[in-house]
Amino acid sequence: MSHESSARAKVCAENAPGMVSTQDYLNRLGEVLQLLPHEQVDEIRDVLLGAYEKNRQIFLFGNGGSAALASHFACDLAKGVTMGCNGAKRFRAIALTDSVPMMTAWANDSHYEDIFAEQLKNLIEPRDVAFAISASGNSGNVLKALEVARHAGGFCVGLGGYDGGKMKPLCDLCLVVPSDNMQVIEDLHLSIAHALFTTIRHRLEAGTHAAAFKFATVAR
């Protein structure tokens, strides 16, 4: 069993002792929300806007609930942020979780750890963004994809939890939700994605997205 699977199983089995009611859970969610590093959300926003300005691609990936969020956020970026902005160029956002035939082919003929990395080898170019989502930060296929992205000269962004896991040092920018509860982490990952979506759309509508971005000059 992978670290991510075992972490999820442990949390689900124990049901987070001390949280015995809906109010307990929502109180815990609110407490962690207050601890989120909001400035890092803004940094990720600027990275994504920088990719938009420079016509770079954004590749999103994760497992389980994180796979669902990768698809959800790719849709928000590729469609939602420019909805109603007549004539505006579009985000080039792709969820590597969306091609079931491609993922199962690599899993069957190679290894499950290759399902995102091998897709990236076909597509990623220097300064494209690899956007990894992993609550534990230790999913093998996420780590391998980040390694491919770094080797290709991509910019690696991560959404994590717990202590960031092995994913954190592979990322140029990694936002770690300060919690050891899988469900709280996943809830706040979605909230972060929606905060990014909302603020990016506002900047595009207001015409303030062409500011200077760190993305252009970030060096490893």
Percent of the chain with pLDDT over 90: 76
Six-digit token string for 215: 């993305």
* pLDDT at res. 69: 97
Residue range 101-120, pLDDT digits in tens: 999 999 999 999 999 999 99
Element (H, E) at 214: none
Span 69-94, pLDDT tens digits: 999 999 999 988 876 665 678 899 99
- pLDDT at 209 (0 to 100): 55
Q: Where are the beta strands (DSSP E) in the chain?
A: 57-62, 92-95, 129-133, 155-160, 173-176
Rounded average pLDDT over 191-199: 95
For domain 3-212, the CATH architecture is 3-Layer(aba) Sandwich (3.40)
Domain residue spans of the chain: 3-212
- pLDDT tens per residue across span 124-152: 999 999 999 999 999 999 999 999 999 99
Lowest mean pLDDT among 46-50, 113-117, 179-183, 204-208: 204-208
CA separation for the pair 142, 112 (Å, rounded): 10
SS3 64: coil
Query: Pick from 131, 130, 96: which is nearest to 114 by CA?
Result: 96
pLDDT range class, residue 9, cuts 50, 70, 90: very low
| CB neighbour class for 220 (10 Å; exposed up to 12, middle 13-18, buried from 19) | exposed
Mean pLDDT of the chain: 87
Residue 73 CB partners (closer than 8 Å, separation 6+): 60, 93, 95, 131, 193, 196, 197
